[in-house]
Structure 1
Amino acid sequence: MNSSYDTDVLIVGAGPTGLTLAASLAQRGISATLVDRQAAGANTSRAGVVNARSLEVLERVDVARRLVKEGIQAARFNIRDRARTLTAVDFSTLPTDYPYSLLVPQSITERLLLDRLTELGGSVVRPVSLTTIEQDADGVTATFDDGRVIRARYAVGADGIHSTVREQAGIGFQGGAYDESFALADVHLTGDVSPDEVNLYWATAGLTVIAPLPDGSYRVVAPVEDAPENPSAPFVQQILDDRGPGGLTVIDVVWGSRFRVHHRVADTFRAGRLLLAGDAAHVHSPAGGQGMNLGIQDAVALSEALAGVLAGGPDSLLDDYSAARRPIARDVVAMTDRLTRLATLPRAARPLRNALIRVMGRIPKANRALAWRLSGIVYR
């Protein structure tokens, strides 16, 4: 890098995607500047699953082993109708060193990624918001709300669904949103609930997911017509009574929120020297727990492409990144869309859906195929 650049790569957005990319580049000895508009990292659980493929790629930055120490290894994903199991997706026989879903809050994932970045000499510039970004034949120039200007060879938008980088690059973001909202709450429970399995309940009243977290709480996610902004204990209790296995009591709500789900994919992940990764490039339903995982995998793939170009390789390596990752994003969006539409079928169609799921659960090939997809190793 010569004196006309402040950094080789400017990364906008310090969520899991941006942190993974910054750490991956730092490990390769590449100068990168990571900025974020928030004053501090995530302090809530949000995404709660790291899948096998993400753990495989995070080995390259020495973060996988740290995550495993702090998470719950869930080798089974059960789809149930009340107490009856319709199908059980078994990860334990997958050809990977991580034959499970790792249940760990996003806040811990971000902390461990930041710890690793710091070890490698990196940091996050906070809080600064990108106002404009322009590119020319030699690099990009980014201006921020505090007046600073950063000149870089390349810039990456890891700045989420409302990405400023994507918008200023003029990249389309096709898709839409689902009608129903989702309630999310981390709660303390009593009753017969598994401490090391994820359970998806497809009841006539609607869907709910219950997943254990390392602090002893449980993640509850449910689509509802109009979710409250802050789900209360009585609200979550009613969901569990209507949709869960029965016999569960909500003691308290640790944290909760609501969200609406979009399904969109950027028209390209590259426009010249501007690149996209994570939610800036694709967003989809949380069904299957793929969102954060797909972004982490984007970041490692993009770090390899950028390293190749900065080492003198062909510029086409960045086109290859877009060409490889965008079809995967489209495939994941299609899969999660099918799962979400199944989950939000009209009440009259739900008993038939459950019967069909029970039949599918008896087909080993179908079970294995779902395990490969949910684990992400199908995208190696």
Structure 2
Amino acid sequence: MTTTDVLVVGAGPAGLATATALARSGVAVTVIDNQAEGANTSRAAVVHARTLEVLAPLGVADILVDQGIHARRFTIRDRDRVLLPIGFTDLSTAYPYTLLVSQAQTEAALLARFTALGGTVLRPRTLTTLIQDRSGVTATLDNGETVRAAYLVGADGMHSTVREQAGIGFAGGTYAESFSLADVRLTGDLPADEVILYFSPAGMVVVAPLPGGVHRIVATVDEAPEHPTTDFVQHLLDTRGPERTKAQVHEVVWGSRFRVHHRVASAYREGRVLLAGDSAHVHSPAGGQGMNTGIQDGVQLGNALADALRGDKQPLDTYEATRRPVAEQVVTFADRLTRLATADRKLRPIRNAVLRALGTLPVVRRKLAMRLSGLIYR
């Protein structure tokens, strides 16, 4: 039997953030993950200001800032017409922008810092069962090994074994539309430091620049192809993106499809078992909030667990009370953006007119900037 202070199940951004915060406090932490190696794709591509603020004490923020693109504006457009511009430059933060960097780079930076602090990730290891008592948790892994820990953190994603084993509910639903995601190389007169959400009669598409001359394309479609082709992405941009100067797609570097769920765990804690990241909440990618919320969960939880192991259990007792309401707000916000983007064709002219009117109000623009950046959750 292996013994440790905290067992973290899942080495994605939330799990690594939890583990790094623990290791920084000198806590013995064991991390397991069912993948043979870390993620090498870029499912999430946005790191917001509040996330950089919580990563700064871990020594991770500056690494990411040097690697990513600083997007100082987010706009919603009806083809070429700007409906709602949202700027970040006036926000009270050391990071007045949205950082565009792939999830693979974010995970690599967190893993490098965790490793530098003496941590390792055991791969591939899968949790099969857990049993908890008043003094700790005993976890059994797929190779027959058992791990005894004072606390166990489930950061093992939407289909969390930890959540199921702990008997925690995960209520919610699924959007009817599927999403197509592609990282492409393209040419055209697109801003190099701006995220754009395009509305059109044909549907919505998000275009965001990434490091290395790549653009992230995300669109809602009835039935997304498993592997989007150059022609498929080109059609999306031709019918939904800019009209005056067409964007020309030359290569699909990576692509995927997914359906979006909106769910929040009924509890973030059951005894000595706690949840963070997608194990606790999933929602639409609109606004790029998912990974950010998970990392913020992880850092707060790691610090709270370190305090609990030193005898101060108050921060751990309030973890759910502070983080679950944030998840509920994020799910609601992402849901509203998604429903705006996928509004019925007959309602889209009204939607666009309302957004354009709201876009003239500084108070609305600032409120949205605070919400997108995550600074509203300080």
TM-score for both structures, normalised by structure 1? 0.98
1:368 is matched with which residue: 366, 369, 372? 366
Q: Any idea what the Cα deviations from partners look like across 1:21-45, whole Å, max 9, x if unmatched?
A: 1111000000000000000011111
Tell me the secondary structure at the aligned position of residue 318 of structure 2: helix
2:128 is matched with which residue: 109, 126, 131? 131
Q: Which amino acid aligns with 1:377?
A: L
Q: Give the aligned partner of residue 206 of structure 1.
A: 203
Q: Which amino acid aligns with 1:370?
A: L
Note if contact 2:68-2:211 (Cα within 8 Å) is conserved in structure 1: yes
Note if contact 2:73-2:195 (Cα within 8 Å) is conserved in structure 1: yes
For the aligned residue pairs, the C-alpha RMSD in angstroms reads: 0.9
Q: Give the aligned partner of residue 308 of structure 2.
A: 309
Count of aligned residue pairs for this structure pair:
376
Mind listing any 5+ residue stretches in structure 1 that lack a counterpart?
none
Q: Return the offset for 1:5.
A: 6.7
Tell me the secondary structure at the aligned position of residue 369 of structure 1: helix
Note if contact 2:8-2:153 (Cα within 8 Å) is conserved in structure 1: yes
Cα distance between partner residues in 1 of 2:172 and 2:35: 27
Q: Which amino acid aligns with 1:100?
A: Y
1:69 is matched with which residue: 49, 66, 70? 66
Q: Which amino acid aligns with 1:148?
A: E
Q: Does 1:226 align with 2:226?
A: no
Note if contact 2:2-2:146 (Cα within 8 Å) is conserved in structure 1: no
Note if contact 1:52-1:99 (Cα within 8 Å) is conserved in structure 2: yes
Listed as ranges, the matches of 1:139-150 within 5 Å are: 139-150=136-147
Cα distance between partner residues in 2 of 1:114 and 1:305: 20
Cα distance between partner residues in 1 of 2:167 and 2:115: 33
Cα distance between partner residues in 2 of 1:5 and 1:104: 36
**Change beyond 3 A, Cα 1:5–1:323:** farther
Cα distance between partner residues in 2 of 1:187 and 1:6: 46
Listed as ranges, the matches of 1:70-89 within 5 Å are: 70-89=67-86
Cα distance between partner residues in 1 of 2:104 and 2:78: 31
Cα distance between partner residues in 1 of 2:355 and 2:230: 30
* Greater shift in the superposed pair: 195-204 or 62-71: 195-204
Cα distance between partner residues in 1 of 2:174 and 2:100: 27
Which stretches of structure 1, 4 residues or more, deviate above 4 A after TM superposition?
Answer: none
Note if contact 1:270-1:318 (Cα within 8 Å) is conserved in structure 2: no
2:345 is matched with which residue: 344, 347, 352? 347
Cα distance between partner residues in 2 of 1:307 and 1:252: 46
Tell me the secondary structure at the aligned position of residue 263 of structure 1: strand
Q: Any idea what the Cα deviations from partners look like across 1:60-84, whole Å, max 9, x if unmatched?
A: 1000000000000000001111111
Q: Return the offset for 1:317.
A: 3.3
Aligned-residue identity in percent:
61
Cα distance between partner residues in 1 of 2:3 and 2:221: 48
Cα distance between partner residues in 2 of 1:161 and 1:329: 14
Cα distance between partner residues in 2 of 1:137 and 1:183: 46
Cα distance between partner residues in 2 of 1:185 and 1:206: 16
TM-score for both structures, normalised by structure 2? 0.98
Cα distance between partner residues in 2 of 1:318 and 1:175: 26
